[in-house]
Amino acid sequence: MTNHWRDIKNADLILINGANPAEAHPVGFQWFVRAKLDPKRGPGKGGGAKIIHVDPRFTRTSALADTYLRIRTGTDVAYFGGLINYVLQNNLQHAEYVQHYTNASWLVKDGFGFADGLFSGYDPAKRTYNIATWGYDADAQGIAKRDMSLQHPRSVFQLMKAHYARYTPEMVSSITGIPKDDFLKVAALVGEMGKPDKVMTIVYAVGLTHHTTGVQLIRSGALLQLLLGNMGRPGGGMNAERGHANIQGNTDHAISWEILPGYLAIPTPGEKNLADYVKEKAPKKSDPNSWNFFGTNYKKFMVSLLKAWYGDAATKDNEFAFDYIPKPAGNASWLSFYDDALRGKMDGIILNGMTATSIGPDSTQVLQALAKLKWLVVMDPLPTTSSEFWHGPGMNPADVKTEVFMMPATHWIEKDGSFVNSGRWSQWKDQVIPPQGQARHDHWIMADLFSRVKALYQKEGGQFPDPVMHLTMNYKDPLKPTADEIAQEINGQDLTTGKRLASFAALKDDGSTVAGDWIYTGSYPESGNLMKRRDGVQDPAKNDPTGMGFYANWAWSWPLNRRVLYNRASADLDGNPWDPERAGIKWNGQRWVGDVPDYPPTMNPKDPKAWLPFIMTGEGTGRLFSNTPLDGPFPEHYEPVESPVDNPLHPQTSANPVAFLYDQAAGRPNRFGTVADYPYVATSYRLTEHEHYVTQHVEHLVQLQPEAFVEIPDGLAKEKGIKNGDMVRVSSKRGKVEARAMVTKRLGPLDVAGKRVWQIGIPIHWGFVGISADMHPDKSQHWLANMLTPFVGDATARTPEFKAFLVNLERMG
Amino acid sequence: MTTVTRRGLFKLAGAGAGTAAISALGFDLAEATQVKQQLHIAGATEAHSLCPYCAVGCSLIAFTRKRADGSTEILQIEGDPDSPVNEGRLCPKGASAMSIATSSRRVDQPLYRAAGETAWKQVSWDFMLDRVARLMKDARDRTFVTQDANGNTVNRCEGIGFAGGAAFSSEEGYLATKIMRGLGVVHLEQQARV
């Protein structure tokens, strides 16, 4: 989230796409309801915030929304595109913000273009773009030409306007299935949010990311928010509701193939030293008034990380051990794990509190991949569909040569440490009870394993042992590092003084500072562990003096305890809040006050040399045009890989032209179905009572939701002769689910480009392991929802397309 | 140990209109519930925790008591009224946190399934850790690439994948990243994508 849970109460309009917070994040949803009940909020004269819920299913979120729009899954780029076009055509954007706080005025290179669903530079053989033309018209130093009138035909603003002109209300309706009049009513409300005293938040979850256009779906929302001037403001922003207790913290700490802690990029082969790496990876300044804070300090953060990991072995002479960091050949994300395993390139996988089988996508293919491994380690407190995969659906244990290790790990409540919530609040928890049985802490298992591997290298030698030998394990007991010791390492220190640092501003690139993750520097300064702070709602007057919900002394949020990211953009050019009633930060003549400023604390905004507001980008502004996504500088609607219709915008380029097709590339048989065999659209989701798969072991929750089911619209059920409670088989090209039918009016037909389309809903929670599975050992073999989902992901992020695929539906005998 | 007085007040306030209403039984149910609650956690130690499920980040208060044999017993887990995130509220999952914390379905010792075997075998931690360390070293040595075809120094291990982290703390996650990158692992993933 750019903002945080409590901040949603500050919004006038709440746009929810690809999320169901009332059911999936129920306690967070209280802040939506509070906005709705607050008479000061809302469009027009107020009377309460309005909630717009756009989703394939009518859920409890829809029930509390002011407007519900049924959308065909996978078409939100078109929906947002229509809103963007409505704002641009009616001149409803926040003009001053767009002119000064976005890259609307930047001129793009001659040669950039878009035609027939393709941006310039497409290579159909490689299914990739050459992005040479996706850049600015800039001088040798990279400083771009700008046209502050926004009228130049190659200005980002005019290019964007032309790109989006195709997203007319009629086109939006024919793609999404949303009736034109309903769409226009929502567009009128959204259009009001460009007024400086109004603010809208966009809230989403994996319903928006789990598509082959996932990145562009999120960017579409961000573009709309930039046009309306809602980024950086309390009550605004782009807010991802994340689904696991510490998914945020461990994204920050880079358990992800493409990054190092603090969102530093993993180096690419060919980058020979730190200078090469920084040149390739750090953002580049394209305006004289851009601070380019991240780019300018990239090397300091990287060197401080290398010093944290390699200590005295990281010296100026060896580029601070830059060679010790692995340089991947290509994508190594989730889908690539199993693709590489199927191709025999992977020896073993360690699954630490995560199950491959149930998560999928295409669980059958994942099971085959696991069976091709030499070994599989599962670290978990409870059995999972991966620890048990060798006797799972369709598996014959005698044929599975994989050695499997089930290492009992401790539960969260048996150890201390921090969890970071969706709003970036890092909150500390105590150890409440000791470990049960022989369970060991995950990090102690890892430390012990590492120590044994290192001992083998000491004894036997082997491939490039240096990084293994030199990795710092400077803990009192290297086999049992404490959470407190690691939290201090993450925060970092000045090696000269031996003192922990209070800000990443003190980090250096000469090897005199260390920080395990620069965005957490300041979480544990000399004064102590700030993540433990507890000044909460027991005294709102004292702990939240502005009433904005910052609660600055409750836990600690990254970076620097800032509660709203990009908050310089919450104030105008002179430093006055766009809406004085909802100030983020404000220039008081001497300094910035309010939230922790995302800006130099004493930089006078009226100084002609004052930095532009977005300090993390090379432009100094928000980016309406960006060459970072691999599938285009502007979002474009592409159909899901499995879709019931051709793309009405450009049927010849229907699906995402750069989505990576794993099976095709590896020479495996096609695993995608067509509408002729699989005529219905399906989507998958969570229920309130379960959390992925682990809650299959919780008696109370299994009692509340005891058995797998699928949701079927009543009109389709009637057509197929299916009654509520009947057993049905849902099948895709890849596999099947057999479960009870829940016939419902929550799902219904859509008219898409003149064609009637039905959508089926599939909760993801069941499998062949857990209390329900034990009660139904035969039936539970056919409960894995991800048996159905396609093995393909987003063009840039490779996030699998769990949320839009084709199935058939039959009533079982 | 923390006093439970303020929490008692919260409970009373939380009962709302119910406190004034006398039930058909002729006595105040809310007050009875309150007394029952106080008896349940009387003499308990209060610890702070967080909900282990989604990323709203609801704060929990866990009440524990030492048993006569010195072991610790969880009496109750409830929402923390001081938190600006949840203000004491919990959903069905959070409200059942105690059930997973004390689950009888736990795997409480290391289990090993050898290639082609049809059942788990109970083994020692030393066996597990030695065997996995051996396999990890062999995998690293077999699949390590020091230089790619273009002569670039790449120092990567291509044959080991590590996935996890959405359910354990940041400190554990940081150490996992550090150790895996230290071994040269490139296949790293947690639940941001899936």
DSSP B39-63: HHHTTPEEEEEE-SSSTT--EEEEE
A523, A532 contact by CB (below 8 A): no
- A14 strand-pairing partners: A51, A201
For B80-94, the DSSP string reads -TT-TTTTT---HHH
Chain A partners within 8 Å of B54 (Cβ): 24-25, 28, 241-245, 691
**Residues in Cβ contact with A52 at an 8 Å cutoff, skipping those fewer than 6 apart:** A13, A14, A15, A16, A65, A66, A67, A69, A186, A189, A190
Chain B partners within 8 Å of A381 (Cβ): 103, 106-107
Quick one: B17 and B97 in the same domain? yes
Task: Summarize pLDDT for A97-123 with one digit per residue, the tens.
Answer: 999 999 999 999 999 999 999 999 999
Quick one: B116 and B90 in the same domain? no
How close A243 gets to chain B, by Cα (Å)? 5
Find the mean pLDDT for residues A305-329.
98
The verdict on B2 touching A (C-beta cutoff 8 Å) is: no
Chain A partners within 8 Å of B112 (Cβ): 403-406
Find the mean pLDDT for residues A366-393.
98
Q: Point out the residue among B48, B84, B145 whose CB comes nearest to the CB of A537.
A: B84
Q: Point out the residue among B125, B130, B190 whose CB comes nearest to the CB of A247.
A: B190
Q: Is residue B158 part of a domain?
A: yes
Chain B: residue nearest A451 by CA?
B133
Quick one: B96 and B32 in the same domain? yes
For A684-711, the DSSP string reads EE--TT--TTGGGG-HHHHHHS-S-EEE
A622, A226 contact by CB (below 8 A): yes
The verdict on A276 touching B (C-beta cutoff 8 Å) is: no
Q: DSSP secondary-structure letter at A5?
A: G
Contact B132 A324 (CB under 8 A): no
Which among B53, B76, B101 is the end of a domain?
A: B101
Backbone torsion region of residue A761, taken as left when φ is above 0, otherwise alpha when ψ lies between -120 and 50, otherwise beta? beta
Contact A255 B165 (CB under 8 A): yes
How close B82 gets to chain A, by Cα (Å)? 5
Quick one: B128 and B154 in the same domain? yes
Q: Given pLDDT bands bounded at 50, 70 and 90, which one contains residue B40? A: confident
What's the pLDDT score for residue B34? 76
Task: Summarize pLDDT for A239-272 with one digit per residue, the tens.
Answer: 999 999 999 999 999 999 999 999 999 999 999 9
Q: Point out the residue among A348, A398, A700 whose CB comes nearest to the CB of B99.
A: A700
How close A141 gets to chain B, by Cα (Å)? 28
Q: Given pLDDT bands bounded at 50, 70 and 90, which one contains residue B2? A: very low
Percent of chain A with pLDDT over 70: 100
Q: Given pLDDT bands bounded at 50, 70 and 90, which one contains residue A497? A: very high
Quick one: B129 and B46 in the same domain? no
Q: Point out the residue among A379, A381, A486 whose CB comes nearest to the CB of B106.
A: A381
Which among B72, B101, B130 is the end of a domain?
A: B101
Q: Is residue B18 part of a domain?
A: yes
Q: Is residue B68 part of a domain?
A: yes
- pLDDT value at B50 more than 60: yes
What's the pLDDT score for residue A591? 98
H or E element, residue A99: helix A95-101
Task: Summarize pLDDT for A203-244 with one digit per residue, the tens.
Answer: 999 999 999 999 999 999 999 999 999 999 999 999 999 999
Chain A: residue nearest B175 by CA?
A443
- Kindly list the structural domains of chain A, giving each domain's residue range(s) and its CATH number in brackets, ordered by start: 5-243 (3.40.228.10), 651-811 (2.40.40.20)
**Residues in Cβ contact with A372 at an 8 Å cutoff, skipping those fewer than 6 apart:** A341, A342, A344, A346, A402
- pLDDT value at A795 more than 70: yes
Task: Summarize pLDDT for B99-148 with one digit per residue, the tens.
Answer: 999 999 999 999 999 999 999 999 999 999 999 999 999 999 999 999 99
Contact B156 A329 (CB under 8 A): yes
- A762 strand-pairing partners: A684
Max CA pair span of chain B: 87
- pLDDT value at B5 more than 50: no
State how far the alpha carbon of A377 is from the alpha carbons of A356, B160, B194, in Å: 11, 11, 19
Contact A464 B144 (CB under 8 A): yes
Q: Is residue B70 part of a domain?
A: yes
Task: Summarize pLDDT for A736-757 with one digit per residue, the tens.
Answer: 999 999 999 999 999 998 899 9
Task: State the residue range of the domain holding B138.
Answer: 111-189
Chain B: residue nearest A5 by CA?
B85
Q: Point out the residue among A241, A348, A490 whose CB comes nearest to the CB of B139.
A: A348
Interface of B with A in 128-147 (CB under 8 A): 128-146
Percent of chain B with pLDDT over 90: 75
A304, A513 contact by CB (below 8 A): yes
Interface of A with B in 631-650 (CB under 8 A): none
A670, A642 contact by CB (below 8 A): no
How close A616 gets to chain B, by Cα (Å)? 22
- Which CATH number do you get for residue B60? 2.20.25.90
Chain B partners within 8 Å of A445 (Cβ): 129
Chain B partners within 8 Å of A798 (Cβ): 193
Q: Point out the residue among B106, B135, B148 whose CB comes nearest to the CB of A382.
A: B106
Contact B49 A704 (CB under 8 A): no
Q: Point out the residue among B148, B171, B189 whose CB comes nearest to the CB of A443.
A: B171
Residue A353: half-sphere exposure toward Cβ, Cα within 13 Å: 28
How many domains does the structure of chain B reveal? 2
The rounded Cα A655 to chain-centroid distance in angstroms is 22
Taking the C-alpha atoms of A765, A770, A775 and A777 in order, what is their torsion angle to the nearest 10 degrees? 90
Percent of chain A with pLDDT over 90: 100
Q: Given pLDDT bands bounded at 50, 70 and 90, which one contains residue A197? A: very high
Q: Point out the residue among B93, B117, B128 whose CB comes nearest to the CB of A405.
A: B128
Q: Is residue B156 part of a domain?
A: yes
Quick one: B73 and B28 in the same domain? yes
What's the pLDDT score for residue B41? 79
Quick one: B143 and B80 in the same domain? no
Task: Summarize pLDDT for A616-653 with one digit per residue, the tens.
Answer: 999 999 999 999 999 999 999 999 999 999 999 999 99
By DSSP bridging, strand A13-17 and strand A200-204 are: parallel
How close A426 gets to chain B, by Cα (Å)? 9
Mutation target among A307, A347, A446 for the B interface, most CBs of B within 10 A: A347
ipTM above 0.85, yes or no: yes
How close A711 gets to chain B, by Cα (Å)? 22
Chain B: residue nearest A520 by CA?
B170
Quick one: B115 and B179 in the same domain? yes
Quick one: B52 and B79 in the same domain? yes
Q: Is residue B106 part of a domain?
A: no
The verdict on B82 touching A (C-beta cutoff 8 Å) is: yes
Q: Given pLDDT bands bounded at 50, 70 and 90, which one contains residue B26? A: low
Residue with tokens 């690139």, as numbered in its chain: A509
The Cα–Cα gap between B187 and A227 comes to 38
Chain A partners within 8 Å of B90 (Cβ): 27
Chain B partners within 8 Å of A25 (Cβ): 54-56
The Cα–Cα gap between A197 and A578 comes to 6
Quick one: B167 and B96 in the same domain? no
Chain B: residue nearest A344 by CA?
B159
The verdict on A269 touching B (C-beta cutoff 8 Å) is: yes
The verdict on B29 touching A (C-beta cutoff 8 Å) is: no
Interface of A with B in 315-344 (CB under 8 A): 323-329, 332-334, 336-337, 340-341
Find the mean pLDDT for residues A560-578.
98
Q: Is residue B194 part of a domain?
A: no
Chain A partners within 8 Å of B66 (Cβ): none
Q: Given pLDDT bands bounded at 50, 70 and 90, which one contains residue A47? A: very high
The verdict on A390 touching B (C-beta cutoff 8 Å) is: yes
Quick one: B15 and B95 in the same domain? yes
The Cα–Cα gap between A598 and A605 comes to 13
Quick one: B51 and B137 in the same domain? no
What's the pLDDT score for residue B35? 77
Q: Rounded mean pLDDT of chain A?
A: 98
What's the pLDDT score for residue B13? 41
- pLDDT value at B9 more than 60: no
Chain A partners within 8 Å of B134 (Cβ): 456
Contact B170 A418 (CB under 8 A): yes
The verdict on A5 touching B (C-beta cutoff 8 Å) is: yes
- pLDDT value at B6 more than 50: no
Contact B54 A243 (CB under 8 A): yes
Backbone torsion region of residue A177, taken as left when φ is above 0, otherwise alpha when ψ lies between -120 and 50, otherwise beta? left
Task: Summarize pLDDT for A73-97 with one digit per residue, the tens.
Answer: 999 999 999 999 999 999 999 999 9
